[in-house]
Amino acid sequence: MKKLILLFTMAVFIGFAGNETFAQKKENKVVCFKSNMDCADCEKTVTEYLKFEKGVKDLKIDHVSNTILVEYKDGKNSDEELAAAIEKKGYKADKITKKEYEEIVAKNKKEE
């Protein structure tokens, strides 16, 4: 009888643990930076470094427009920590809005 109660309790617990309505789901956040990269190697350096930062889900890095867009899981990282990681590699990380990022990227595409 004790085993039956234990199995039932475990089954109920597993059922609730698997249900996403009980788990706190953190949203992904996006942060954009204006940087000072000079070449494709700079872009590669920043990409290789940032892709291993906690919570990073997506990166868009462009040395021509000197922009960096990072999508990351909220609670795993922060805008400030990502900026510090970029600066640790020797590049500027001036935070800009997503709208400013899109304008810079669009302007550079027109110039190509």
Task: Please check whether residue 31 lies inside any domain of the structure.
Answer: yes
What distance in Å separates the CA atoms of residue 21 and residue 76, rounded to the nearest whole number? 20
Q: Assess if residue 16 is contained within a domain.
A: no
**Angle at CA 95, nearest 5°, toward 39 and 67?**
25
Measuring CA to CA, how many Å separate 104 from each of 9, 47, 84, 94? 56, 19, 22, 14
Residue 12 lies inside a defined structural domain of this protein: no
Asked whether residue 14 carries a pLDDT value surpassing 70, the answer given is no
Q: What's the CATH number where 104 sits?
A: 3.30.70.100
Quote the Cα angle for 59-64-70, to 5°. Answer: 15
In a domain, 15, yes or no: no
For the chain, the domain total comes to 1
Range of the domain at 63: 25-111
- Residue 62 placed within a domain: yes
The pLDDT score that the predictor gives to residue 52 is 92
Task: Identify whether 76 is part of a domain.
Answer: yes
Q: 61 pairs with which residues across the strands?
A: 68
Reported as a single tens digit per residue, the pLDDT across 23-82 is 556 789 999 999 999 999 999 999 999 999 999 999 999 999 999 999 999 999 999 999
54 assigned to some structural domain: yes
DSSP 8-state code for residue 19: -
